[in-house]
Structure 1
Amino acid sequence: MNFTSPFSLALATIVGLSLLGVPVGHAMIGGSVLYLYLKGMDMGAAAEQLLNGTYSSFLLLAIPLFILAATIMSSGSILDRLLRFCNAIVGRFPGGLAQVNVLQSIVFASMSGSALADAAGSGKLMQAMMTKDGRYSPAFAAALSAVSSVIGPILPPSIPLVLYALVSGTSIGYLFIAGVLPGLLLGGVQMALIYVLARRRRFPVEPRVPLREMPRITREAFPALMLPVILLGCLYSGITTPTEAAGVAAAYALLVSAALYRSMRWSDLYGSLLSSARMSISIGMLIAGALVFNYVITSENIPASLSASLKGLDLSPIGYLLLVNLILLVLGAFLEGSTIILVILPVLLPTATALGIDPVHFGVMAVLNIMIGLATPPYGLLLFMMTRIANVPMQELLREAFPFLLVMLGALAVVTLWPGLVLFLPRLAGYTG
């Protein structure tokens, strides 16, 4: 590799700017503009790629709408109602509150679609609940909140799967439904591990909720629980496009919060709009930077060269998937997840397609892998977030998170080696891939 070539200097610029604290999206745009300058190409191509990529994809509008729906639904009393519902279901089992933490992540996934949003919202509340009166150690509670937040982006609506649909052209509807069983598998292995740890460490059991209280608790949580049903119903009935379904989800979230639960004031709505706008802008700049940098990658003919090199290895489809998993696990320990989806997966996808690997299976597997990276040292964003929230040393948090990472890798192996698990529900819905 020529370290003085325009592409090498562009990569060095992106890494250097990122290390200086410049947002990754801005760093990719800066490095790409430098590449165009050094190659003597029209630097206006950067703006052209950015504008064409963002304005030609109607699907991108779904991202801020999903974020808005999640922000509204996580405000007011909705989260409290959902936690009471989860506690009524699994609180009676060994490690009751720990089981509630995982179940609420599965439920909250229907609103957030983001691991970081899950950890920042319900994770902070669960940390306080679990450590009250010394029932669980702060490190265990923080580690569990970090790893359980990984479930959110696998289940619909999933912002990472929307990004994958953007770069791969795969149906977002089939991707959403394909993530259901892997997401439940991930939650299942975490809850099974908690059961084992609870027996060994004698974790407390929550008071049993009287049976007569169940109808009331379910009725209070029911409107919030209906959000994923409405979302998937709109998608698979053909009533709406994915972007329109995201708009319906945001409108439904506002209706439930403001009109039904009466838990949202004008100031809360303003705060939700402001918070979702900030998050959307952050993701939007990352997408813009990736679009420009992908143009650089294509100009260097890297996808075709890499595809030819990988074909030369004469890998079977399973062998290639295992290699991709290894690559993504290493990258996920250092890079932010959206960057990997937008920059790395478009390079790996052509070879997967040439080997006959289903793009829906490939996408769900890759996103699951990348989300595990959010809880993997040294760069796992969920780990850093929970150390700040819980005020615990990183070393203690990692020690508690390690068993969960092992069982999650086991779930990833199942998803990788058993495509039928991922494709079962999409095929029921008419998918022919």
Structure 2
Amino acid sequence: MSAGLWILLGVFTLVAVLGAPLGLSMLAAGFAYMVATHQDVGLVVDQTMNGLYNSYLLIAVPLFIFVANVMHASGVIERLLGFGSAMVGHLPGGLAQVNVVSNLIFSGMSGSAVADASGPGLVVARMMTREGRYPRGFAAATSVVSATLGPLMPTSIPMIFYALIANASVGAMFLGGLVPAALMALALMSVIAIIARRRGFPREPRVPWSAMPAIFGRALAPLALPVILLGLIYSGVTTPTEAAAIAASYALVLAFVVYRTLKPAQLLDVMGETVKATAMITLIMSGAFVFNYAVANEGVPHLIQATLLSWKLTPTQFLLIVDLLMLFLAIVLDEVTILLVIVPLIVPVAQGLGIDLVHFGIVVVLNMMVGLTLPPHGLLLFVMAGLTGTPLSEIFREVPPFIVAMLGIVLAVTFFPDLALWLPLMAGMVHN
């Protein structure tokens, strides 16, 4: 490696170890690289500004974050939980099943695993541990794994970033995630049913059919949001960014006009939380753009591509390597950093091997979601432990069966591309 590359990696590691956010670590490393290689340090600003302001698609990210925060603050989660309980609460491990279904529904409004964990995941975990009905480790673990469903569904923020990087269709990515998300939900619910029967966990009372219309009616407006979004995008009426703006307006109408559960003072808090989350993502993106410039300037992408291609891998062998790489990286890095720094290095290799970029993107996102649940450093484990006050050791003991089931879905999508491509093919968004 050249001296410049050693300096880039050394400064990044040092600043990260000292506790700085990853975005600042990458910016510091990029700045040090510019100085060491006698380049104009103004390139740091140039790369950041060009990366952030040259993409109309990126505007969708803060809008979807805003939608999730409005829905959370306006009490929509309770309506969705009521609907989920009516649908699956009577199954073995009732509330744990509700956890999965509620996260699957709420994911159509958030697109973020952390948002799902801190929204419906936290609410259901508290319901499960009330009066000692479920062990707190099991309750937290089900919230952790259920939160991974969000980024597999439409409005997925990781899919938006991937589409930007790989020049793939956002609409095709959203459609491509639906079948894997459904399979993942069924796998998690099956594990819950098996554990519930073995450990004698309770079921919720079955809701009579006569009460179902009223329950469905209470949840209809928020349930309609994902359908409206998909309809707007796939009909060609709006771009994903414009659909995100309509979703934000729809959320405000629900909160202020339909339900009247959100006060103007609370809206300021919602906007503040949205700005914080957006600023955090923007900082990471800024650092990633500069870091990527330095890495590309050193010829690292070409070296990685040449090395992988020299191994004469089949598409399936390459995807299995990507599975392992993404799982490992997701343990130590957040998903935005992986998408912006690592994925651009391997997308050209996938293209060179003839792998459909929508299929490749779904495989990448699936692996990152599983990585967020892996002990000892999976991000969602720490998020849920902090929110619920549950010791990490108790969550660690409960997650392995779920991880095995999730890895099974990852391998299924890896070996059978049609699981991700069937719906985009039917919609004419990808071609054989």
Name the TM-score class by shorter chain: over 0.9
Which residue in the other structure is 1:111 paired with?
109
Q: Deviations over 1:382-406 (max 9, x none)?
A: 1011112222222221110111011
Distance 1:274 1:333 in 2: 29
The 3-state SS of whatever aligns with 1:152 is helix
Shift of 1:356: 0.0
Q: How does 1:204-353 map to 2 (within 5 A)?
A: 204-353=202-351
Partner-residue secondary structure (3-state), 1:102: helix
Amino acid in structure 1 at the alignment position of 2:148: V
In 1, Cα distance between equivalents of 2:376 and 2:277: 24
Shift of 1:208: 1.4
Alignment correspondent of 1:18: 16
- CA deviations 1:213-249 (Å, max 9, x no partner) are 1100000100000111011111011111111011011
Amino acid at match of 1:407: A
Aligned length: 431
Map 1:114-193; keep pairs closer than 5 Å: 114-193=112-191
Q: How does 1:75-114 map to 2 (within 5 A)?
A: 75-114=73-112
Measure, in 1, the Cα distance between the counterparts of 2:275 and 2:159: 20
Question: Residue 417 of structure 1 corresponds to which residue in structure 2?
Answer: 415
Rounded to whole Å, the distance in 2 between the matches of 1:326 and 1:77 is 39
Residue ranges of structure 1 left out of the alignment (5+ in a row):
none
Query: What is the letter of the counterpart of residue 267 of structure 1?
Result: A
Give yes or no for contact 2:7–2:36 (8 Å, CA) kept in 1. no
Structure 1 contact 303–347 (Cα < 8 Å) conserved: yes
Equivalent position of 1:7 in the other structure: 5
Unaligned runs of 5+ in 2: none
Contact between 2:172 and 2:430, CA under 8 Å: does it hold in 1?
A: no
Deviation for aligned residue 1:6 = 1.7
The one-letter amino acid of 2:207's match is: V
Whole-angstrom distance in 2 between the partners of 1:432 and 1:28: 35
Write the deviation string for residues 341-399 of structure 1: whole angstroms up to 9, x where unpaired.
Answer: 11000001101000000000000110110111111123211101111222222222111
2:394 matches 1:391: no
Report SS of the residue matched to 2:152: coil
Cα distance in 2, alignment partners of residues 310 and 63 from structure 1 = 33
Once residues 128 and 373 of structure 1 are traced to their aligned partners in structure 2, the CA distance between those partners, rounded to angstroms, is 24
Query: 1:282 and 1:432 mapped to 2: Cα distance?
Result: 33
Are residue 429 (structure 1) and residue 430 (structure 2) matched? no
Distance 1:123 1:198 in 2: 18
- Rounded to whole Å, the distance in 2 between the matches of 1:152 and 1:432 is 23
SS at 2:332's partner residue? Answer: coil
Structure 2 letter corresponding to 1:352: A
- 1:408 aligned residue: 406
Partner of 2:36 in structure 1?
38
User: 1:258: Cα distance to partner?
Assistant: 1.2
Question: Any idea what SS the aligned residue of 1:264 has?
Answer: coil
User: Distance in 1 between the 2:7 and 2:430 partners?
Assistant: 44
Question: Is the Cα contact below 8 Å between 1:95 and 1:195 reproduced in 2?
Answer: yes
What secondary structure is seen at the aligned counterpart in 1 of 2:294? Answer: helix
- Does the 8 Å contact 1:335/1:379 carry over to 2? no
Q: Note the alpha carbon deviations across 1:259-285, whole angstroms, 9 max, x for none.
A: 111111111211111111110111111
SS at match of 2:73: coil
> Using the alignment, how far apart are the partners of 2:88 and 2:403 within structure 1?
22
Q: By how many angstroms is 1:162 displaced?
A: 0.7
The CA distance in 2 between the partners of 1:166 and 1:27, in whole Å, is: 23
Structure 1 match to 2:363? 365
| Alignment partners' CA distance in 2, 1:336 and 1:176 | 21
Distance in 2 (CA, whole Å) between partners of 1:208 and 1:139 is 26
The answer on whether the counterparts of 2:57 and 2:240 sit within 8 Å (CA) in structure 1 is: yes
CA deviations on 1:398-417 (whole Å, 9 max, x unpaired) are: 11011101100001001111
Equivalent residues of 1:334, 1:378 under 8 A apart: no
Deviates more, 1:254-263 or 1:345-354: 254-263
Q: Distance in 2 between matches of 1:373 and 1:309?
A: 25
User: Alignment partner of 1:376: what SS?
Assistant: coil
Residue 333 of structure 1: how far off its partner (Å)? 1.5
Cα distance per residue 1:2-51 (max 9 Å; x no partner)? 6xx22122112112212222111111011011011101111111111111
Partner of 2:48: 50
TM-score scaled to structure 2, two decimals?
0.98
Separation in structure 1 between the aligned mates of residue 36 and residue 238 of structure 2, nearest angstrom = 46
CA RMSD of aligned residues (A): 1.0
Mapped partners of 2:73, 2:419: distance in 1: 34
